[in-house]
Structure 1
Amino acid sequence: MFSGIIADAGLIKSVQDRAGGLRLTVATEMLGMDDVKLGDSIAVNGVCLTVIAVDGNDFTVDVSRETLDCTTGLDRQGAHVNLEKAMRLSDRIGGHLVSGHVDGVGEVVAFNDIGESWRLVVKAPQALAKYIAVKGSITLNGVSLTVNHVVGDEFEVNLIPHTLEVTTLDELKKGARVNLEIDLIARYVERMMQAEKEQNT
C-alpha cells in the first residue's frame, strides 16, 4: 500500500525489451534506497512495481505487457516519474490509501494557472466516472489529490505550488495521458451495494 505522497521525481535511465514487457532502470536522488531490498514495492507514476535490482541510487523493475497495456508513462527513456516506497504500518497516511493498481488512463483537458494554484481538468474513462466524487480522493500518476468539481466524465483538481515542485505534474499539458486510481472506498461501497441487491432479488 501507498499514500500518494511522492518522495521523489525520478528519471527512467534505461528501457529494455524483455519477453513482451520492459525492464526499467530508474534513478532517484531523494527516495532513500538504503532500506530498499530485492522484492520491495515502489510505485512508479502510480504503478506498483517490484524491485529486482539495486545499484546505489538506481533500481530496476520489470513491467509486464498487461501493465503496459493499461497504464501510461513507463515506456520512455528519459521520462520523469513520481516515486513512492510502500508504506510501513507505522507510517502516517498523508494522502489516502493507494494500492498502486491503476484503474485506467485519463486525458488532460485543461491545465491553467489561476494565481495561487493550478487548475487541472482530466477526462476519465467512462467506466470510472461513477467512482469520482466531489471532495473524494483520486490518484494521478501516483499523486494523491482531492476532487473539486465533477461534470460527466471530467473532473477538476487544484495543484498548489509545492505539489508542482515535488512531482512531475508540472510537466502536464493538454492532451497528456495520466494514470488514474480511484478511491478504494468507492470500489468497496459499490461491491457492498451489489451484494445487497443480489440478496434482495
Structure 2
Amino acid sequence: MFTGIIESIGTITNITKEQDNLHLTIKCSFTNELKVDQSVAHNGVCLTVVNINNNEYTVTAIKETLDKTNIGSLSVSSSVNLERGMKLGDRLDGHIVQGHVDQTAICTNIIKESGSTIFTFTYDATLRNITIEKGSITVNGVSLTVVNSKLNEFSVAIIPYTIENTTFKNITIGETVNLEFDVIGKYVSRLTSL
C-alpha cells in the first residue's frame, strides 16, 4: 500500500530486456535503505526490488505491467516518481493507493495559472473507471484531487511544490501517464454495475 506522496525522483540508469520482461535499474536517494523483495512504486506502479548494487537497485516489469502502464516507454535517463510502501501506523497524507495502475491517459491540456497549473487528462471510458469532483486520483503515482470530472476526462490543479518535486515538471501535452482510480470508487462502481 502507498499514499501517493512522492518520496524521491529516481533516474533510470539501465534497461535490460529478457523475454517479455524489462529489468529497470534506478538510481535514487534512498537506495541504501532498500532491501531485496521490498515494494517500490514507480510512476504509481508497484514493482519488487530484485537486486541492489551500491546506489542503484533493479526491478522487473512483466508483460502485463508493460501492456497497461507507461513503464515500457521509459528509457535510460528517464525520471520516475518513487514511493516506498507505507508503514502501518504512519499518517496517511495522500489517499489509499495500491500501486496497481488501472489504465493510462493522455495529457490534453496544461494551463498555468497564478499559483497553480491545471493539467487535463483524457482516458478510455469504455474501461468503466470514473472520477468525481473533489475525489482522489493517482497520476504517475501522485495523489491528487480531481477539480473537473467528465465521462472520459478530468483535470487536476497542481501546486508549485508538487511540480518541482515530482515528474509533473516534465509532463507535456500528448504524454501518456499512469492512472490509478480511487479504490473506494472502483468498488462502488463495480457494485452499481451488477
Provide the TM-score with structure 2 as the length reference.
0.94
Select between 185-194 and 145-154 the one with higher mean Cα deviation.
185-194
SS in 1 for 2:10: strand
Runs of 5+ consecutive residues of structure 2 not aligned to the other structure: none
User: What amino acid sits opposite 2:102 in the alignment?
Assistant: D
Partner of 1:103: 102
Q: Deviations over 1:82-127 (max 9, x none)?
A: 0000011121111000001100010001012111100100002213
Shift of 1:56: 2.8
Identity of aligned residues (%): 39
Match of 1:48 among 26, 35, 46: 46
State whether residues 73 and 79 of structure 1, in contact with CA within 8 Å, keep that contact through their aligned partners in structure 2.
no
| CA separation of 1:116 and 1:36: change in aligned 2, threshold 3 A | same
The 2-side partners of 1:92 and 1:128 are apart by 32
Larger Rg: 1
Which runs of at least 4 in structure 1 moved beyond 2 Å after TM superposition? 32-35, 127-130, 190-194
Runs of 5+ consecutive residues of structure 1 not aligned to the other structure: none
SS in 1 for 2:104: strand
Provide the TM-score with structure 1 as the length reference.
0.91
User: What amino acid sits opposite 1:193 in the alignment?
Assistant: T
Shift of 1:130: 4.9
Partner of 1:116: 115
Q: Where do 1:119-158 residues align within 5 Å? A: 119-128=118-127, 130-158=129-157
Shift of 1:128: 4.9
The 1-side partners of 2:91 and 2:145 are apart by 18
Partner of 1:20: 20
The 2-side partners of 1:33 and 1:23 are apart by 16
RMSD: 1.4
